[in-house]
Structure 1
Amino acid sequence: MPPATRMFPSPAEVTAGTPAGRDRAIDVIRITALLAVVLGHTLMATSTLRDDVFIWDNLLAEVPAFQALTWIFQIMPLFFFAGVAACLDSWRPGLSWGGWLLRRCTRLYRPVFYYLAFWGVALTALRFMVPVHVYEPIAGISVQLLWFLGAYVLVLAAVPLLSRVRTTGRLIAAMAVMYGVIATVDVIRLNVESFSALGYVNTVVWLLPGLLGVAYRRGLLRPRAGVTLGAAMFAVNVVLMWLGPYELSLVGVETQQLKNMSPPSLLLAGHAIMLCPLAIAAAPAISRWARRPRVWWLTAIGNSGAMTLYLWHMPVLLGMHLTFDYLGFPRFDPAATGFIALSIVQVVMMVVLVGAAFIALRPLENSPLPYWDGGAVTGPGGRSALVGTLLCVAGAATLVSVNWGLKEDGLWCVAAMLAALVAARISSSLTLTRREAAL
């Protein structure tokens, strides 16, 4: 088949276009973690309709024993680890911080604009088609996945600071300080009720895998040491969970009195410190495996549409559940007859539907978006700081919006996110300063 008519490049073409120094382990870790998220959401999501109320729940709440599996499958720290490791070499002192961050946000937010446009149309239609207590949960769930994007932008903004860690001593000191801050915040917020909101300071948890991504790229943590550190942190987390106030599940479950994800807890911090060193230990073997042409082809193609997979699997999952619920086949009670058969059918459907969405929507992620792509800040200075700060505001607004979704105060948060992104893009197109023009 001629190259122009093929949907994807061939394995040979992908291999030929891969730089010799490409760290394939990072790409494998990133796409594997992403696919685990999609599969996890598919397996764990439950729903039903009761008296025109849409109940969206989690199998972890119905079968508490499954919560132990989150200590294996809570792999979100690996996204931050792989992301920082992948982009570290592109930063160097003297570059425009705002311009550097804008280049990454351009790719990250490009598919988000399409995603929000879809939900704007879909929710407008659903408002007149379904009962209010079906509409509201859907609106609330619609942008929940964007929490990752908001946190990730804030971590990327900190890469110039993280990049200063160049020795093992600095690595240990930085990790100890971060872990100590998170522990202190937990002690205060769990014992002084009026300081409960202080827990959101623990968003710094996501800097820990970023820091370990720096350590990986600079060889500050060897594989054997990674295994030792991972095992030690696992033991610490077991003790914290056994003797402390923390609960078992490392993902949000409505029945939890103390959630480990929102706001992030010391237990989640320890999990990140455990998981990333183990990934470092496995990286050499993963790199060898990724040398296989077919493995590398699947990895490269998957990563070329990573945000497409991440974003669009949720509306597909919601739509599938609603369809089954309205047809009278809810997947809600694990003790019900046919629950396992229904689960298998839904997993197969998700594979087909998400695959189709990936093929159809991946080009949107990889094609320049008019009026969004093209911004640049060529040197440091006030404009660079302004653009970078606006992007941090957009990231923070994105993160906060998930508390409500596309309703109530969440609409204001999304509006603030879009306003900050537009302002950053406009600022990046202003006339160059004399200092920037001279660079």
Structure 2
Amino acid sequence: MSVIPGVAAVVAGTPADRDRVLDLLRLSSLVVVVFGHCLMLTVTVSQGQVRFGNVLADLPLLQPLTWALQVLPLFFFAGAAAGARGLGPGTAWGPWLFRRTQRLVRPLLPFLAVSAVSVAVAGRLLGPGWDHPLAVTSVQLLWFLGTYLAVLACVPPLAAVVTDVRRMFAVVLAIVATTALVDVVRLSGGPAELGYLNLTVWLIPAVLGIGYLRGLLARGTAAVLGCAALLGDVLLVRFGPYEASLVTVPGQRLSNLAPPSLLLAGHAIVLCCAAVAATPWLRRVAARPRIWWVIVLGNTGAMTLYLWHMPALLAVIVAGQLAGFGRSGPAHPGFLAQTAVQLGTTLALTAVLFLALRGLENTPLHWWDGPVAPVTGSRSALTTATVAAAGLAILQATRWGLTPDGWTWFGTAAALLVAARLLTRHRPEKARATA
């Protein structure tokens, strides 16, 4: 278990120019996601067959709550803004990207190993009907990591383009227009695969994050734009083909998340603009010593928190089934009490795992975390493309989970990441022979 610094030490060690708002947004967005997963996931067992469900499918009236619970655009906003600070004139994109990839990927291997063993053990304890649902659900949340790596690969070119207000809004408008066109084609019977083009929706918070960093998005403008986008989303749900849920719910005609839709594009604009408009208040909140201590501690293990809350939740669900207290849905007797127990137990177990495992995220690995060479030109471009491809491979792997197909995609991602490491590996020059 890693050492936890005190409040005074954290405050004293914080640089004066640190943008605490970005740290607050990054951590709070992940915490909201953890709460959402704990509240929404249900399990139904019938004749040996297992199905993981969502409370939102049983209670559609709760689906608008996802407009408050789907806050991952804020993580992309904060991540892009924080990353772009390190992009000065002449910065090579490949090394910049790989340095960020090193820490993000560091805790992935132990997570996958433990998840695979846990799925196998749970299948033996509960029966073969659990194997496939657990294999898929246990790693489904990795879609975020894959998407985030691909978005980070786009931050350097976006930073090069988003240099004034006009360009910032032009890029956002182009993404929104493309997303709308793709949705029209999909809803008209076009190929479902076309929806993957809408992954560009996740670039919207990155663009706005860069704009925030460079002072291109004034608070008043953000407030007006956010309200306009919110009104647009309401109209899309009220009069358009979109459902209210911003997470995937069984039975949807068109998911708003996988792949993203025009509704999620609008939602990303709403959240990012709201964050910019509320910056003074957020800055005052983050300036409080104890709150800042929590923010710093949480950010030192952000990936640990995100990854390990799902094993904690699944462990609680499996334990409940073994004890005869399955949480199958709102119609189940004692559902509210079971929800409270599941939420409390999962959060407690997640906290224990976070404190015990955050050290893995902060401990450099001998080969993986070696010095990054200042490669330029084609090697830099190839590194950027390789990391982006690895992210997309991880995203594809989450469709299949810990199954043979899924492992194939995880293996592909691993090979691409190794290639990126080799491309950026520092090779000290041999000492010149002296005459």
Using structure 2 for the length normalisation, give the TM-score.
0.95
Map 1:100-115 to 2 at 5 A: 100-115=96-111
Inter-CA distance 182–129: structure 2 relative to 1 (3 Å threshold)? same
| Contact 2:77–2:205, Cα closer than 8 Å, also in 1 | yes
| Contact 1:226–1:280, Cα closer than 8 Å, also in 2 | yes
Task: Please give the alpha-carbon distance, in whole angstroms, between the structure 1 residues aligned to 2:2 and 2:305.
Answer: 20
Determine the structure 1 residue equivalent to 2:269: 273
Determine the structure 2 residue equivalent to 1:220: 216
| Contact 1:190–1:196, Cα closer than 8 Å, also in 2 | no
Cα RMSD between the aligned structures? 1.7
Inter-CA distance 371–125: structure 2 relative to 1 (3 Å threshold)? farther
Which of the residues 179, 199, 205 maps onto 2:176? 179
Determine the structure 1 residue equivalent to 2:167: 170
Q: What is the identity, as a one-letter code, of the residue corresponding to 1:250?
A: L
Instruction: Give the SS at the match of 1:284.
Output: helix
Deviation string for 1:268-299 (max 9, x for gaps)?
10111111100111111111111111010011
Which of the residues 304, 307, 330 maps onto 1:308? 304
Q: What is the identity, as a one-letter code, of the residue corresponding to 2:300?
A: S
Instruction: Give the SS at the match of 2:241.
Output: coil
Which of the residues 66, 80, 105 maps onto 1:84? 80
Q: In the alignment, does 2:52 pair up with 1:56? A: yes
Q: What is the identity, as a one-letter code, of the residue corresponding to 2:182?
A: V
User: Comparing 118-127 with 286-295, which one deviates more in the overlay?
Assistant: 118-127
Task: Please give the alpha-carbon distance, in whole angstroms, between the structure 2 residues aligned to 1:67 and 1:123.
Answer: 30
Inter-CA distance 282–51: structure 2 relative to 1 (3 Å threshold)? same
Instruction: Give the SS at the match of 1:393.
Output: helix
Q: CA deviation at 1:129?
A: 4.4
Q: CA deviation at 1:184?
A: 1.2
Determine the structure 2 residue equivalent to 1:396: 392
Task: Please give the alpha-carbon distance, in whole angstroms, between the structure 2 residues aligned to 1:225 and 1:124.
Answer: 53
Inter-CA distance 162–393: structure 2 relative to 1 (3 Å threshold)? same
Task: Please give the alpha-carbon distance, in whole angstroms, between the structure 1 residues aligned to 2:140 and 2:172.
Answer: 29
Determine the structure 1 residue equivalent to 2:237: 241
Task: Please give the alpha-carbon distance, in whole angstroms, between the structure 2 residues aligned to 1:31 and 1:126.
Answer: 31
Instruction: Give the SS at the match of 1:46.
Output: strand
Task: Please give the alpha-carbon distance, in whole angstroms, between the structure 2 residues aligned to 1:68 and 1:29.
Answer: 21
Which of the residues 206, 223, 226 maps onto 1:230? 226
Which of the residues 345, 352, 374 maps onto 1:349? 345
Deviation string for 1:217-262 (max 9, x for gaps)?
1111111221111110011111112222111101010121111111
| Contact 1:94–1:379, Cα closer than 8 Å, also in 2 | no
Task: Please give the alpha-carbon distance, in whole angstroms, between the structure 2 residues aligned to 1:425 and 1:138.
Answer: 32
Q: What is the identity, as a one-letter code, of the residue corresponding to 2:98?
A: L
Deviation string for 1:100-121 (max 9, x for gaps)?
1110000000011111121233
Determine the structure 1 residue equivalent to 2:284: 288
| Contact 1:186–1:266, Cα closer than 8 Å, also in 2 | yes
Determine the structure 1 residue equivalent to 2:95: 99
Determine the structure 2 residue equivalent to 1:251: 247
Instruction: Give the SS at the match of 2:258.
Output: coil
Instruction: Give the SS at the match of 1:117.
Output: helix
Instruction: Give the SS at the match of 2:106.
Output: helix
Which of the residues 367, 373, 381 maps onto 1:371? 367
Q: What is the identity, as a one-letter code, of the residue corresponding to 1:175?
A: V
| Contact 2:73–2:271, Cα closer than 8 Å, also in 1 | yes
Inter-CA distance 117–375: structure 2 relative to 1 (3 Å threshold)? farther
Q: CA deviation at 1:24?
A: 0.5
Which of the residues 351, 355, 358 maps onto 1:359? 355
Determine the structure 1 residue equivalent to 2:133: 137
Q: In the alignment, does 2:227 pair up with 1:211? A: no
Task: Please give the alpha-carbon distance, in whole angstroms, between the structure 2 residues aligned to 1:239 and 1:311.
Answer: 35
Using structure 1 for the length normalisation, give the TM-score.
0.94
Task: Please give the alpha-carbon distance, in whole angstroms, between the structure 1 residues aligned to 2:173 and 2:253.
Answer: 27
| Contact 2:196–2:259, Cα closer than 8 Å, also in 1 | yes
Task: Please give the alpha-carbon distance, in whole angstroms, between the structure 1 residues aligned to 2:123 and 2:339.
Answer: 29
Determine the structure 2 residue equivalent to 1:18: 14
Determine the structure 1 residue equivalent to 2:320: 324
| Contact 2:180–2:262, Cα closer than 8 Å, also in 1 | yes
| Contact 1:377–1:384, Cα closer than 8 Å, also in 2 | no
Q: What is the identity, as a one-letter code, of the residue corresponding to 2:221?
A: A
Determine the structure 1 residue equivalent to 2:28: 32
Q: CA deviation at 1:126?
A: 4.3
Task: Please give the alpha-carbon distance, in whole angstroms, between the structure 2 residues aligned to 1:173 and 1:93.
Answer: 23
Q: Where does structure 2 lack aligned partners over 5 or more consecutive residues?
A: 431-435
Task: Please give the alpha-carbon distance, in whole angstroms, between the structure 1 residues aligned to 2:122 and 2:346.
Answer: 22
Q: What is the identity, as a one-letter code, of the residue corresponding to 1:345?
A: V
| % identical equivalent positions | 45
| Contact 1:143–1:406, Cα closer than 8 Å, also in 2 | yes
Which of the residues 294, 315, 318 maps onto 1:298? 294
Q: What is the identity, as a one-letter code, of the residue corresponding to 2:96?
A: W
Q: CA deviation at 1:305?
A: 0.5
Inter-CA distance 224–433: structure 2 relative to 1 (3 Å threshold)? farther
| Contact 1:155–1:210, Cα closer than 8 Å, also in 2 | yes
Q: CA deviation at 1:432?
A: 7.4
Task: Please give the alpha-carbon distance, in whole angstroms, between the structure 1 residues aligned to 2:45 and 2:170.
Answer: 52
